[in-house]
Amino acid sequence: MSAIYNFCAGPAMLPKPVMLKAQSELLDWNGQGVSVMELSHRDKAYIALAEKAEQDLRDLMAIPDDYHVLFMHGGGRAQFAAVVNNFLGDAGQALYLVDGSWSSIAADEAEKLVGKTHIDRLNIVNKNDDMSQVELPHLHAIKKDYRYVHYCPNETVDGIEIFDELDSPWPVVADMSSTIMSREIDVSRYGLIYAGAQKNIGPSGLCVVIVHQDLLTLPSLPQSSIMDYRLAVKHGSMYNTPPTFAWYLAAKVFEWLKEQGGVKSIAAINQQKAALLYHCIDSSDFYQSKVNVDNRSNMNVTFYLADSELEMLFLEQAKQAGLLALKGHRMVGGMRASIYNAMPLEGVQVLVDFMNAFATEHG
């Protein structure tokens, strides 16, 4: 059987060496005689694993000491609510920049929890001639006392990425679910970063939160304990039973990433992968990108077939060639190839070869 390459946007493929390692220790982890799934999260060995995972993440992202790292439940969407709950007590207000589907849903959730009068929404994507282009606003010109500004640097559904860091007078809260550790960032420019695990970290159910200690002094809404960042900090992310297996796999992914040379090295490969694929799209009239060159995502490459009638056939033949999950999100249609850290360069090369052959045959 020829190789399978899985381009699913999430849950996404995991690095093969990680999966093989997990398989080999599935029934007996760390000489415990039981699976890591069957072990108490209070067990010394598990605590050591959790602490090492945090340290590896701190190393990989160069997270300064005045930030807490949390391993939370509930994926990205839980943080849509948690951010509001934790920081918008006492009639606090926040600004939500909307650059695509996820940031829009995050703003909806915030409005639901505190009402429209407390949330300002600013659309930062222009669509000229069907091409999406981000225009970052001059935030310092906005004379408002926001607790934070929220945005999504990589819009997974739309394939839009913002590479520039925001210049903001308020703490920046960033949903990095689909871009975390794909390229180097300066963590000190953010108030809070969160990322659902199932794109670039591990399996679903887990969400990494990196939060500056000062944000935790903001007034919170009355809220459920399980969403409370302060409680999570106090209990080392073990206020209740954490998703232990997801955390374990995330720890393995961090180790793997370190072995690859860290974020800087993987970013160079990610750049190469994205360039290869966008070049294929741009060099034929058969395929089309609807995102301005400066904002094209390195992680989620969205594209369309000029003749949309051929989409089904494209997906069918791609699948036969071992290229899975290329269908675009139902909200936007078209195609999407998610090429997170775990996708090797060969996978993208095989996809490009397939796309060129398909275009020659049907163009």
Ligand X SMILES: *Cc1c(COP(=O)(O)O)cnc(C)c1O
Assigned token pair, 267? 């970013």
Restricting to residues 189-248, which ones interact with ligand X according to CB under 6 A? 196, 199, 204
Q: 56, 99, 158, 175: which is the annotated catalytic residue?
A: 175
175 is in an annotated binding site: yes
177 binds ligand X (CB under 6 A): yes
Give min distance, CB of 264 to ligand X, in A.
Answer: 23
Residue 29 or 96 with smaller CB distance to ligand X? 96
Contact pattern for ligand X over residues 96 through 135, marking x by CB under 6 A: ------x---------------------------------
Between CA 230 and CA 217 the distance in angstroms is: 9
76 is in an annotated binding site: yes
33 conformational bin, left if phi > 0, alpha if psi -120 to 50, beta if neither: left
241 is in an annotated binding site: yes
Which H/E stretch holds residue 192? strand 192-196
- Strand pairing class (154-155; 148-151): unpaired
Name which position in 13, 39, 76, 158 contacts ligand X (CB under 6 A). 76
10 binds ligand X (CB under 6 A): yes
Between CA 213 and CA 96 the distance in angstroms is: 22
Cα-Cα-Cα-Cα torsion 162, 246, 17, 57, nearest 10 degrees, comes to 50
Closest CA to 133 of 92, 161, 153, 165: 161
Residue nearest to ligand X (CB): 75
In our burial notation (b when 16+ CB lie closer than 10 A, e otherwise), range 169-186 reads: ebbbbbbbbbbbbbbebe
Give min distance, CB of 6 to ligand X, in A.
Answer: 16
Active site residue 199: yes
Instruction: Note whether 120 and 144 are within 8 A (CB).
Output: yes
Give min distance, CB of 98 to ligand X, in A.
Answer: 12
341 binds ligand X (CB under 6 A): no
Binding positions: 42, 76-77, 102, 156, 175, 198, 240-241
Residues contributing to the site for ligand X (CB under 6 A): 10, 75-77, 102, 152, 156, 175, 177-178, 196, 199, 204
Residue numbers annotated as active site: 102, 175, 199
